[in-house]
Amino acid sequence: MNCFTVQARDAGARAGILHTAHGDVATPVFMPVGTQASVKGVTPDELTACGVGIILANAYHLYLRPGADLIAHAGGLHAFMSWTGAILTDSGGFQVFSLARLSRVDDDGYHFASHLDGSRHSFTPESVVALQETLGSDIAMVLDDLVPAGVDEARARDAAQRTLDWAQRAKRAIRRDDQLTFAIVQGSTFEALRRRQAQDLAALDFPGYAIGGLWVGEGRDVGLAMVDASTSELPVEKPRYLMGVGTPQDLIESIARGVDMFDCVYPTRSARHALALTTSGRLNLRNAAFARDLRPLDAQCQCPVCASFTRAYLAHLFRAGEMLAPRLVSVHNIAFLSELTRSARTAIVGGRYASWSEQRLAALRDATASG
């Protein structure tokens, strides 16, 4: 299935169009995370105003609460959450890995206790495909075996083989033809293993591919090296999605390595801690320096928050404990990352990604050094 058109290349970076059942999405793209069918504190209309065309929801959480059958009865995930753009659903493997009590993995799948009430459940490659087909997302992720940073090569190899086996089983279980299914490259921090896994998954001819199991404690430089190893073996005509990565620096450097799609809770989680993203680094709005600062968060930002509110006002809201504070900064942070990827796309199309990225990275480095 051809769901992706590469429109321009500049060295390793790519600009493309991802074709989904709920519209085309220009890449590179950042996907805000709506784990529970809700991007925390941000309405669908606000997401649209930020230029967002695709979001992520999580199959694990929606399976446990409110349940896939209710969502299907409501008309599917788009209707349930009143979102007209595209939706990618994660398989839930990471959540089982990080949240579920008494979880274990074997060749059949994951077996775990709910983090909500302790009830017992199992996820298999087939059941996760069926779950996401019931939810009705545009892009579904296969179940993968995720391992933490620091595992030995034998455990990483075992997880990679299991992930490959599960991908084969998932592909056989697919029934919907209006949903794209992405496989996930694992392999921990072992380059040869990553390359082999990417080659083996590429041979299965999925519509797209994700790079998983990184930014889980292995160190940034190592993570970027594993991104390099993965993208160099994945098909050039298929979309590439780096899972769980969302800082401006990581996006810029990963786009240079051929990544097209990103997701992360970083913008909304930062906002709840009074941290605003700007072209010159993060601002901590709890700092006294912003109490009388009547400038917008970022003079270069065109988002609704920067058009209407000052740093002083937002700092006041945080000090006063007003719930509007993290909401407004969440909107700004999402808009900022959306603009960042749009600007990266423009630079790629114009053949100037190297100079653009160096300029943006230099501003972030200077902010870190002075901060």
Give the type of residue at 268: T
Q: Using CA atoms, how far apart are residues 196 and 307, in angstroms rounded to an integer?
A: 49
Q: Tell me, what's the pLDDT at 102?
A: 78
Sign of CA dihedral 133, 136, 142, 145: negative
| Amino acid of residue 136 | G
With tokens 């970022």, the residue in question is 298
DSSP 9-62: EETTEEEEEEEETTEEEEESEEEEB-TTSS-TT--HHHHHHTT--EEEEEHHHH
All domains in the chain, ordered by first residue: 24-264 (3.20.20.105), 271-370 (no CATH)
pLDDT of residue 369: 58
Distance CA 206, CA 184 (A): 10
Amino acid 370: pLDDT: 56
Cβ burial 227-266 (10 Å sphere, 16+ → b, else e): bbbbbebbbeebbbbbbbbbbbebbbbbbbbbbbbbbbbb
The catalytic site residues sit at 90, 263
Q: Give residue 288's pLDDT.
A: 98
Q: What is the pLDDT of residues 77-125, one digit of tens each?
A: 999 999 999 999 999 888 887 876 778 999 999 999 998 999 999 999 9
Q: Each residue of 166-213: pLDDT tens digit?
A: 999 999 999 999 999 999 999 999 999 999 999 999 999 999 999 999
**Beta bridge partners of residue 32, listed in sequence order:** 264
Question: ω into residue 28 within 30 of 0, thus cis?
Answer: yes
Residue 284, helix vs strand vs coil: strand
Q: What is the DSSP letter of 290?
A: G
Q: Output the pLDDT for position 103.
A: 86
> Per-residue pLDDT tens for 129-172?
999 999 999 999 999 999 988 999 999 999 999 999 999 999 99
**Do residues 18 and 3 lie in contact, with contact meaning Cβ atoms separated by under 8 Å?**
yes
